[in-house]
Amino acid sequence: MNRLGKAFSTSFRTLKIKTFGKLFVSQTASLLGDAFTWLGLALLSYELSAERSAAILASALTLRVTAYIIFSPFAGVISERFERKKILWMTQGFRVVTLFLLPFVIVEWQLFTLIFLLNVAAAFFTPTYRAIIPQIVPKEEYREANGISMATFQLLSVFGPALAGVFAVWLGAKQLFLVSGIMLLISIVIIISIPANELQKGIRITKASFRDGWKSVGKGVSSLFGNRILRFALSMEFVSAIAGALVLVNTVSLVKSSMQQDDAGYGLIMALFGVGAAITAFVIGSLDKSKTRALSLIGGAILIGIAVSFANFISFNGLLFFWVLAGIGQTLADMPSETLIGENIPGEDQGKVYGSHFAFSHLWWFIAYPFAGFLGISFPDHSFLYGGLISIFLAIMAIVVFKPSLK
């Protein structure tokens, strides 16, 4: 218990680093805005067409991932050509304009266009933000800084929509986009208050041709897959995506149809999944000091695989426990990649690699979502069992193929 307390204390201590503390608050405002955006999107989809709302929302989410896959590899290239401070506030500003247009949407194609543009901007903002962290935080505190950043993401993904739901009752669906835009404006103000040189440490702006830009993208991909540690971490993220997609796609049917629970029961289950993930994100950096993080990666992939494998055969109370384990497992399998890039890639190349990683990690989910849906439709009574066993098998195969060092 003492170690856990120390881990929490170390994570929060990183907020005393002035530049990181400001960036953290800016990112928190942005993430809270995202929660309002996606709840507003769900409600707007229903307003456009009640009978097609699920298809509209699914298409919007697919466009989101598609934008990440296509554009995020170029984030590192852009970060080499332009001042990072400008990239952050300009992409956020573009998102604000897009959000302020969403309340005026009256047909589906307008919604799809704006959602795609919104996430093109996010595809440049997020990798740039992540690449800045290892430049502004001391090496010995980087894991903790990354941990508190990821934990906040997990917590807001759980509790942000609940807060947005309260505002929706008070303001109405379309006004949620305005609230989201205001949150992003707060984020921009904080970014502007940070001196540009603080966000540019160790990174020199260069001018290069279009052809050189493509070479930089290729270098980002080759650096990601060329590093043995990162290659194994990325394989564990794929395993986690397969199991995690089962949780996100099929839990609602399991809880409401098979277990005969109401919406509150479903909300509780997913909240515990998020809380397990968030708590783990806070402490993992302080508890696992190994160079490769292989034990965390392997343990996380196997844990989430085992947790979901039992879901078809346990009670609702049992699922509460197993979904906490699944949340813990997903963070253990997903989060080390972020810090491993900062620790294993030279500073001048980190922007490229973070962009490539952002693209491929979302590509894994692009594959995993329809696979989870297929299992849910084809094997409704055993979808979690089959998906869990497949994820465990993939984890074992990755261990055999990549032979990760445990030191």
CATH number for the domain running over 220-401: 1.20.1250.20
- The b/e string for 82-119 (b: 16+ C-beta within 10 A; e otherwise) is ebbbebbbbbbbbbbebbebbbebeebeebbebbbbbb
DSSP 236: H
Q: Which pLDDT tens digit goes with each residue over 56-76?
A: 877 887 888 899 998 888 887
How far apart, in whole angstroms, are the C-alpha atoms of residue 189 and residue 193? 6
Reference 164, options 37, 25, 252; nearest CA is: 37
- Tokens encoding 97: 């304009």
Residue 200 — φ and ψ, nearest 5°?
-110, 10
User: What is the structure's pLDDT at 101?
Assistant: 95
How far apart, in whole angstroms, are the C-alpha atoms of residue 27 and residue 38? 17
Report the topology of domain 1-207: Growth Hormone; Chain: A; (1.20.1250)
Per-position pLDDT tens, the chain of length 407: 455 555 555 556 788 888 999 999 999 999 999 988 888 887 888 888 877 776 787 788 788 889 999 888 888 778 777 888 999 999 999 999 999 999 999 898 999 999 999 999 999 998 888 888 888 888 878 888 888 888 788 778 777 777 787 787 787 778 889 999 999 999 999 999 999 888 877 666 666 555 656 777 788 888 888 889 999 999 999 999 999 989 888 888 888 888 988 777 887 888 888 888 888 887 776 666 777 788 899 999 999 999 999 999 999 999 999 999 999 999 999 888 878 888 888 877 777 888 888 889 989 988 988 888 889 888 989 999 999 999 999 999 999 998 887 77
3-state helix, strand, coil in the chain (%, to 5): 85, 0, 15
User: What's the mean pLDDT when you consider all of the chain?
Assistant: 85
Residue 213 — φ and ψ, nearest 5°?
-60, -45
Check: CB of residue 338 under 8 Å from CB of residue 150.
Answer: yes
- Tokens encoding 190: 């904080």
Domain locations in the chain as residue ranges: 1-207, 220-401
Please state at what angle helix 316-334 crosses helix 142-171, rounded to 10 degrees: 130
How far apart, in whole angstroms, are the C-alpha atoms of residue 328 and residue 311? 16
How far apart, in whole angstroms, are the C-alpha atoms of residue 337 and residue 238? 12
